[in-house]
Structure 1
Amino acid sequence: MASNPPGDCCATGFRHEGTPAGEIKDIDGVKTYISYPKEKTDKAVFVVSDIFGIFINGQLVADEFAKAGYLAVLPDLFQGDQIKLEDQAAGKVNLPVWLKDHQPSHVDPVIASTIKYLREEQGIKRIAGAGYCFGAKYTARFLKEGQLDVGYMATPSFVTEEELAAIGGPLSISAAQTDHIFTTELRHKSEDILIKNGQSWQINLYGGVSHGFAIRTDLSIKHNKFAKEQAFYQAVAWFNQYL
């Protein structure tokens, strides 16, 4: 595998503070958070969430992409069955059992319907996928002509070598120094795969942080906050270049 399956570190993190600026809409039966840029655009960022789905951290990230000039969407990949932070904190999360009900056969249709909505209802011509942890797998799966045009992953999990080798567009990855999911060995293997693939790519390694830092880090720690912000800037710079 290009990255290991999700583990306990995927179900840990810190809730961020802020007030979401977007709105919740029902898109073909899927609860979807949408954040709008100041000016009309034909470019969008599809925020492909971690296992916490639509929650404050992801919403605030979507808002930042909207501030950068993109229409940002964050659909509920789990149809109301996302992991809750309070359950994680109370030790109620059984990730292997939960994952059985959230396989590609469950998630792929949500991704496909959201892309269709963006292109047919919103008039979007170019779509970037920003996959965080769990969502990285689906960024890779849908980084194909007519689906996602550009990809970004932060501390990817559950991405197979075959999925990574089959991407059809530019891909940027934010990696953490301490990551049992996207290990040093798997990061180097991913580099080899991307070189052979021939698409434009980059992998930036952030020291002193761990898996999930780009979406769930403790912002009270100055270095963590800096790394999270830099990973976001990495994504925006990549989208500005290739989208």
Structure 2
Amino acid sequence: MASNPIGRCCAVGVKHEGTTTGEEKTIGGVKCYVAYPEDKKTENALIIFTDIMGYGFNNVRLIADQYAANGYFTVIPDLFNGNEVDLNQPFDIQKYIAEKMPRVPTVDPITTATIKGLREEYAVKRLGGVGYCFGGKYVIRFLKQGGLDVGYTAHPSFVDKEEVEGMVGPLSIAAAETDQIFPAEKRRETEDILQKLEAPYQMNLFSDVSHGFAVRCDLSKPREKFAKEQAFLQAVAWFDEYLKA
């Protein structure tokens, strides 16, 4: 594998304060959170593939609003259909993985339907993918002809090396210094694969942060806040360069 399976660190973090500005819609038959850019144009769009907190998590909806504020029509599909992690309930990561976590046979059709819906219902011309933790796998899986045009992922999990080898589009990765899911040896393995591909790639490593920092860091800690903001700006710069027509 190019990254390890998820662990307890995938469900640890801080809820961020803020009022979201998007809305809920159905796209391709899939429940989605949708955030429009100021000009309401949809030709350049992003799909956010979330961590196991799901599409209703306030942190990721605030991030979607930020992408929209930077000019991208942004959509978060519900990949979990009620099987996301509820932080208000007792949580056993191994039991969750075994009994509730969605797998490829469930997530792939949701992703395909969302992509089809965006291209047909919203006239999307260029489509990027943003993947956090669990969602990183699906950005890489769909970074191919007929799927996503450009990809970005922060601290990915469950990625198979064959999925990285099958990519055809540009990929940017934001990695954490402390990350048992995407540790140094997995970063090197991923880099070795990317070097053999023709597509552009980028991998930035952020010190003083751990797995999940791009979504769930403690914003009261300056270094964590800085890393989260820089990882977001990394994504925006990547899409500005490779996604916009």
State TM-score, norm by structure 1.
Answer: 0.96
Q: Deviations over 1:79-101 (max 9, x none)?
A: 122111222xx4455332245x5
One-letter code of the match for 1:117?
G
CA displacement 1:176-202 (0-9 Å, x = unmatched)? 000000010010111000001221001
Deviations along 1:91-145, one digit per CA (max 9) or x if unpaired, are 455332245x511001001111110111000000000100000000000100011
Indicate the RMSD between aligned Cα atoms, in angstroms.
1.2
- The answer to whether the aligner puts 1:95 opposite 2:96 as a matched pair is yes
For 1:58, give the aligned amino acid.
Answer: V
Indicate conservation of the 8 Å contact 1:178/1:209, yes or no: yes
> Which residue identity lines up with residue 224 of structure 1 in the other structure?
E
- 3-state SS, counterpart of residue 24 of structure 1: strand
Counterpart of 1:169 in structure 2 is: 169
Aligned to 2:152: 152
Q: Percent identity?
A: 54
Of 227-236 and 76-85, the range deviating more from structure 2: 76-85
Q: In 2, are the aligned partners of 1:41 and 1:69 still within 8 Å (CA)?
A: no
CA contact (8 A) 1:173 1:203 kept: yes
Distance 2:29 2:9 in 1: 31
Q: For the structure 1 residues 92 and 182, does the alpha-carbon distance in structure 2 shift closer, same or farther, using more than 3 Å as the test?
A: closer
Q: Distance in 1 between matches of 2:181 and 2:51?
A: 13
| CA distance in 1: counterparts of 2:220 and 2:199, whole angstroms | 37
Rounded Cα–Cα distance in structure 1 between residues aligned with 2:190 and 2:154: 14
Of the candidates 67, 70, 76, which is equivalent to residue 68 of structure 1?
Answer: 70
- Contact 1:30/1:79 (8 A) holds in 2: no
1:1-243 maps to which residues of 2 (within 5 A)? 1-39=1-39, 40-54=41-55, 55-87=57-89, 90-91=90-91, 93=93, 94-98=95-99, 101-243=101-243
| Matched residue SS, 1:86 | coil
Residues 29 and 124 of structure 1, relative CA distance in 2, 3 Å threshold: closer
Structure-1 separation of matches of 2:143 and 2:171: 9
Partner SS for 1:135:
helix
CA distance in 2, matches of 1:215, 1:170: 22
What is the rounded CA distance, in whole Å, between the counterparts of 1:41 and 1:111 in structure 2? 18
CA distance in 2, matches of 1:64, 1:204: 20
- Gaps spanning 5+ residues in structure 2: where? none
CA distance in 1, matches of 2:98, 2:166: 28
**TM-score normalised according to structure 2 size:** 0.95
Question: What amino acid is the match of 2:117?
Answer: Y
Q: Alpha-carbon deviation of 1:35? A: 0.3
Letter in 2 for 1:200: P
For the 8 Å contact 1:219–1:225, the answer to whether it is kept is: yes
Q: Deviations over 1:206-240 (max 9, x none)?
A: 00000000011111111111100000000000000
CA distance 1:52–1:45, change in 2 (3 Å):
same
Segments of 4+ moved more than 4 angstroms: none
